Amino acid sequence: MKKKLIAGNWKMNGSLAANEALVKGLLAGLGSPACQVALCVPSVYLAQCQALVAGSAIGLGAQDLSQHEAGAFTGEISGAMLQEFSVRYCIVGHSERRQYHFETDALVAAKVQRALACGITPIVCVGETLAEREAGKTEEVVKRQLAAVIHVNGHCISEVVVAYEPVWAIGTGKTASTEQAQQVHALLRQQLQAASNQADRIQIIYGGSMNAANAAQLLAQPDIDGGLVGGAALKVSDFLSIIASAC
Catalytic residue among 94, 96, 132, 159: 94
User: Residue 175 to residues 18, 166, 240: CA-CA distances in angstroms?
Assistant: 27, 9, 19
Reply yes or no on whether 94 is catalytic: yes
> Is 27 buried (19+), middle (13-18) or exposed (0-12) by CB count in 10 A?
middle
Residue closer to ligand 13P, measured from CB, 22 or 232: 232
Q: How far is the C-alpha of 247 from the C-alpha of 235, rounded, in Å?
A: 18
Residue closer to ligand 13P, measured from CB, 99 or 104: 99
Residue 210 CB, nearest approach to ligand 13P (Å): 6
Residue closer to ligand 13P, measured from CB, 182 or 196: 182
Q: How far is the C-alpha of 98 from the C-alpha of 109, rounded, in Å?
A: 12
CA angle 29, 169, 46 (to 5 degrees): 45
Strand partners, 205: 163
Q: Contact residues for ligand 13P (CB under 6 A)?
A: 9, 94, 165, 170-171, 207-210, 228-232
Catalytic residue among 96, 159, 165, 185: 165
State the angle between helix axes of 16-30 and 46-53 in degrees (0 to 180), rounded to the nearest 10. Answer: 20
Q: How far is the C-alpha of 225 from the C-alpha of 118, rounded, in Å?
A: 24
Per-residue DSSP letters for 111-153? HHHHHHHTT-EEEEEE---HHHHHTT-HHHHHHHHHHHHHHHH
- With a CB cutoff of 8 Å and minimum separation 6, the contacts of 192 are 146, 150, 157, 158, 162, 198, 199, 202, 204
Residue 172 CB, nearest approach to ligand 13P (Å): 7
Residue 60 CB, nearest approach to ligand 13P (Å): 16
Virtual CA dihedral for 225, 231, 235, 239, nearest 10 degrees? -10
Residue 122 CB, nearest approach to ligand 13P (Å): 13
Residue closer to ligand 13P, measured from CB, 79 or 230: 230
Q: How far is the C-alpha of 20 from the C-alpha of 229, rounded, in Å?
A: 19
Residue closer to ligand 13P, measured from CB, 53 or 89: 89
Residue closer to ligand 13P, measured from CB, 64 or 159: 64
Residue 162 CB, nearest approach to ligand 13P (Å): 13
Residue 170 CB, nearest approach to ligand 13P (Å): 4
Active site residues: 94, 165
